Amino acid sequence: IGLHFFSPANVMRLLEVVRGAKTGKDVLATAMRLAKTIGKVAVVSGVCDGFIGNRMLARYGAAAHDLIMAGALPHQVDAALQEFGMAMGPFRVGDLAGLDIGWALRKRRSAEFPDRDYSTVADDLCEAGRFGQKTSAGWYRYEAGSRHPIPDPKVTAIIEQYRRQKGITPRLLRAEEIVERCIYALINEGARILEDGVAQRSSDIDLVYLSGYGFPAYRGGPMFYADQTGLHDIVRTLRRIAALPGVDTAFWTPAPLLARLAQQGKTFSGFKGSAP
């Protein structure tokens, strides 16, 4: 069995209890009791890259990076998502966690899958020695002894150079589009996780995001938010984005479960998958 704590482990309440194919029921029950004893909120996850929370976070981060490529700047993306209710925007989170962590992961994946392009503009920041708060410079710059993010013209210049290299003409993006893309990417991957059986129910996914990722409590979690918004509207928006020129169509195509529930007029809350 795996116990996936969240950083810093003495503060963060979420604990993903990762169940393997041959994990005994008594072992799982013991791990859940342990979580309760040490004051954690435990959610059972199946085995996959990133488990529930970080697997979804990768899609959320990719959507945020796409927005940077399309014409937004880090502080604009963060402001829109913080206005939506997220505790921090994705670029502030990146600076807090350390940009070199993702850089090392992309290097590993590039070596494992040389036919795929894992590069992002964050690689250029890291190559410039900008690893986030620990170097006083990442997506933002930081004054000595302060964690307050300050937009940096040097980052804007790096982004603009990266866009030129990729042949991208930037455009203005509304806050509504920023929120839509990031949150719907999160929801779409949550649907895949449910269909894969990595999470057994949508409320488990919501609990992960409410307890470990700063999703606004008053919105109930990403899957609950999707049900309230209407799965049909989300599917329609995803298909519209998937049809835009230059986007990754496979990334934005609605997950089969999401499309099926929308067509049937059902919700995530009514879906019960197989045990992870």
Edge-to-edge strands, sheet with 41-45 = 2-5, 14-18, 41-45
| Helices within 113-212 (DSSP H only) | 121-127, 153-166, 175-196, 202-212
Active site residue 232: no
What tokens appear for 24 in the block?
């005994």
Burial class (CB in 10 A: 0-12, 13-18, 19+), 265: exposed
Which residue in the list 4, 75, 148, 232 is annotated as catalytic?
Answer: 4
What tokens appear for 46 in the block?
């199946």
- CB atoms inside a 10 Å sphere around CB 250: 7
Q: What CA dihedral angle connects 8, 12, 17 and 18, to 10 degrees?
A: -50
Catalytic residues, by residue number, are: 4
